[in-house]
Structure 1
Amino acid sequence: MDIRESLQEYSIELKSLALKILNLIAEGLGMKHEEIEVLFEEGLQSMRLNYYPPCPQPELVTGLCHHSDPIGLTILLQINDVQGLQMKENEAWVRVLPLPNAFIVNVGDILEVQICINIRLY
């Protein structure tokens, strides 16, 4: 299997995982799973591969500026021990420690907005 086929298969599996997560979110909020699927099933899916090698002086590295994810979900697989991902907790930025064989799932802005709208409708 070449890299293109591997990435295509991985992408298909990630979409399936994303829909399962979205359905669990909908269930937790008392929404019908069809409502979430209508919003996201045919939506945009993209993949970005980054490699961040360990740095001997990480305090000197400038990464991405603070941001939130504008999309529905971000599914992140950290494959080494580089602690580049941070999240805001109690107004402070804290590093997210990589967990072996685990995905990190970020809920994006559009999902937060849509959930707020749906909750108000009930």
Structure 2
Amino acid sequence: MSFSADALYKMSEVELLASYADARRQFVEKKFARDTQRARLAWIRAKMFTSSRGGITERNMAIDVSEEIARKGQEVREMTRELDLVKVEVDIIASVIRFRGAPAPVGGHGEDASEGDTGHEGDRAASD
């Protein structure tokens, strides 16, 4: 998608709102995919931890040096970068909409693309 700020400002309101809706949809899809991969990675780590032998330190070291875990972790980081770029597009389109004098689009705009890598639901609930 990637529109320039000038192109966004020259769009009609209908086109601008359609672009905003498309960008939000793309953001949500990428966020779901990234969160799914993050959960799969956590599951693989937990499965490796329980199936390994030795103490906690040895188990954690075996997980940390695992090539599969490292590769999947890199994939999650790349997905997070792509998610951040889509979030920037959503924010730019929302800024153009506000700059034109229209009320800010309503939606999950307050969502943060990089919520942290803890993956704990309790952490998010505590910060709300």
What TM-score does the superposition give when structure 1 sets the normalisation length? 0.30
Name the structure with the higher helix share: 2
- Bigger radius of gyration, 1 or 2? 2
Higher RCO by CA contacts (8 Å cutoff, separation 6 or greater): 2
TM, length-normalised to structure 2 = 0.29
